Amino acid sequence: MQDLSGNLFIISAPSGAGKSSLIQALLTQQPNMQVSVSHTTRAPRPGEVDGVHYHFISVDEFLLRIKNDEFLEWAEVFGNYYGTSRQGIRDSLQQGIDVFLDIDWQGARQIRAAAPGTLGIFILPPSLTELEQRLTNRGTDSAEVIAKRMAQASSEMQHADEYDYLIINDNFQQALSELEHIVLSQRNSYSSQHSRHQGLLQQLLAITAK
């Protein structure tokens, strides 16, 4: 998605690494940023709002959108479909909004194939022991579910080397600072600034060339 004012970021992490907390904290500090709202065919859970947590649609509508190539990436998980709207992302980027895709490594591969140059950030816990402790402290999962999450985490972390940046979330404020620096650095890259300030750059370069 070149020549757009906003930047697209992929952020992945195993459950319990603190990815969602870091993203939400960053959103409160920086303007013109948002998390992409995915489409899904699963039923809303208590408290979930359509258009805020997900765009809830039928299986038939989802399959039609796949046929029409409307998703940047999509996957079937436990019998339900999830996908990222191509047009929705483009609309936000055109408005100069930076968009975070909260997806796994498989979705990240699809995104990079569809939108080369998308920046990938992987969040890691400081240790497996700490990760298990964080999952336990949530108090929402049984020991069996935690064991499954730990096994899945080990598998997911094998793909950390496919990303551009790595943040180890040992100290939350330090990790947040690192995430903010990565995002701001990308905002100030030549390609990003050129997309935002084409008119100014053309004027300045024209003056310089005289």
Per-residue pLDDT reduced to its tens digit, 47-78: 999 999 999 999 999 999 999 999 999 999 87
Give the pLDDT of residue 208: 56
pTM: 0.83
Residues 6 or more apart whose CB falls under 8 angstroms from that of 56 comprise 39, 40, 41, 42, 43, 44, 50
* Structural fold of domain 8-199: Rossmann fold (3.40.50)
Distance CA(98)–CA(46), nearest Å, equals 29
- Provide the pairing of β-strand 8-12 with 119-124: parallel
Asked whether 82 and 65 are in contact (CB, 8 A), the reply is no
Q: Which two tokens stand for residue 169?
A: 């979330």
Q: Which two tokens stand for residue 22?
A: 């870091």
Determine the residue type at 62. Answer: F
Q: Which two tokens stand for residue 172?
A: 């939350």
Asked whether 179 and 124 are in contact (CB, 8 A), the reply is no
Asked whether 4 and 93 are in contact (CB, 8 A), the reply is yes
Could you read off the pLDDT tens digit of each residue along the chain, which spans 210 residues? Answer: 555 689 999 999 999 999 999 999 999 998 889 999 999 999 998 899 999 999 999 999 999 999 999 999 999 987 899 999 999 999 999 998 999 999 999 999 999 998 988 999 999 999 999 999 999 998 888 999 999 999 999 999 999 999 999 999 999 999 999 999 999 999 887 777 777 777 887 888 776 555
Nearest to 119 by CA among 25, 43, 183, 171: 183
Q: How far is CA 145 from CA 50, 78, 107, 151, 190, in A?
A: 27, 15, 23, 10, 45
Give the pLDDT of residue 52: 92
Asked whether 83 and 74 are in contact (CB, 8 A), the reply is yes
- At 37, is the secondary structure helix, strand, or coil? coil
CB atoms within 10 A of CB 170: 13
Residue with tokens 């100290």: 171
* Residues 177-190 pLDDT 10s: 999 999 999 988 77
CB atoms within 10 A of CB 120: 22
